Amino acid sequence: MSQTGDRDAGTVRASVFTEPGTPVRTVEVQLAPPGPGEVEVAIAGAGVCHSDLHVVKGEWDVPAPVVLGHEGSGVVTALGAGVTGLEVGDHVVLSWVPGCGGCRQCELGRPWQCEVAANVVAAGGVLFDGTSRWSRDGAPLHHYLGVSSFAERVVVPASGAVRIRRDAPLDVVALVGCAVATGVGAVRNTAGVEEGATVAVIGCGGVGLSCIQGARLAKAGRIVAVDIDAAKLEHARRLGATDTVDSSATDAVEALKALVPEGLDYIFDAIGKIVTTEQAIAALGLGGAAVIVGLPPTGSTARFDPLVLAEANQRILGSNYGSVDPQRDIPALVDLYMDGELDLDSLVSGRRPLEAAQDALDDLAAGGALRTLLVPSLVAPQ
């Protein structure tokens, strides 16, 4: 029973993916009330990310049909039984790794590696109890990463709804839930970039530009942005890059070695293609670390010379969700935005209604968009 009293399953609009090759459709679905330890959230904004695109293209195998979206923010509208620390009316950013608090990884202080979130929520397309709150015409739908933010309202684990300050623009801070936490966190938490270090970031989309901002906040001595898009490289300069490499016109590894002959301390692959991962490893200096932030299609493999890696004392680091503690890091990142230290507004390339979810995904696939925000309150053009 919800703490808001008797609530029938509600009808909401949501963007549903069924199978690769079939467009995402925004339709009416049913959303059951929150169960114990869960909350309902009215979505203010949902960012469209490459992880959603991987699903639509069939590069990641997820349970379907599924309500897409994993980057979102909104207002708490109902509480399930036993929820503490949140109230109806709270402004929240949603986390796609809702820590269970009881698995070995959570107990070791690594909520970004929560075993229940990975093995039940992400793999099963359900919530902690193994069931879904979504249905359509009596048939269950799946949750995407415990969020499903491409919808008017959602039900999520309470640990996946992180309370933030109320004066922050609620749609824009949706980006903190994935792109910004992932990028800044990769620099701060996974890599621990030191002041004065030399850094390169391959890929200047929403995550890569967040890596660049993280490197600027860490006071890196040199920050090199690498991309094939001149406009994105110029954007990277505005956000803190000291140098740029147009990898459409030159070999990225040779260009990085020419800019920093001693080799780079940290290189962040914010794309996740095999070629960019191999470039990140190949351009490292002595003791350098390649940080793999972008996620490739399932089953991809990269090549590197392990002898060079060992002799140069280099490292390859995987960075899942920027190694963030959502309850700690998400409010802090929102504070940095409100204090003018992080630029979120320029990462938003446009706003669209839910009905345009497929168009937003197409824009992202074409390479021109940074982060389109789906805003459920917007009315689709007739």
pLDDT in tens, 189-215: 999 999 999 999 999 999 999 999 999
Active site residue 204: no
Q: What is the mean pLDDT of residues 102-130?
A: 96
Q: Say what percent of the chain tops pLDDT 90.
A: 92
Q: Which of 2, 15, 50, 70 is catalytic?
A: 70
pLDDT at 4: 35
380 pLDDT band (50/70/90 cuts)?
A: low
Q: Which of 50, 54, 91, 142 is catalytic?
A: 54
280 pLDDT band (50/70/90 cuts)?
A: very high
Residue 369 has pLDDT above 80, yes or no: no
- The tokens describing 52, both together, are 């959603």
Q: Which of 2, 49, 132, 235 is catalytic?
A: 49
Segments making up each domain of the chain, as ranges:
11-177+348-375, 180-321
36 pLDDT band (50/70/90 cuts)?
A: very high
Lowest mean pLDDT among 120-134, 154-168, 366-380: 366-380
**Residues 6+ away with beta carbon under 8 Å from 15:** 24, 25, 26, 67, 68, 69, 150, 151, 354, 357, 358, 374
- The tokens describing 270, both together, are 């914010």
Q: Report the alpha-carbon distance of residue 73 to residue 75 in Å, rounded.
A: 7
Active site residue 106: no
Active site residue 91: no
pLDDT at 6: 35
- The dihedral sign for the CA sequence 84, 33, 44, 216: positive
What's the mean pLDDT when you consider all of the chain?
A: 94
Q: Which fold has domain 11-177+348-375?
A: Quinone Oxidoreductase; Chain A, domain 1 (3.90.180)
Neighbours of 135 (CB within 10 A): 14
Active site residue 54: yes
Q: Which of 2, 15, 50, 51 is catalytic?
A: 51
Q: Report the alpha-carbon distance of residue 333 to residue 341 in Å, rounded.
A: 9
Q: Which of 100, 103, 114, 178 is catalytic?
A: 178
- Sequence length of the chain is 382
- Classify domain 180-321 by CATH number: 3.40.50.720
Active site residue 70: yes
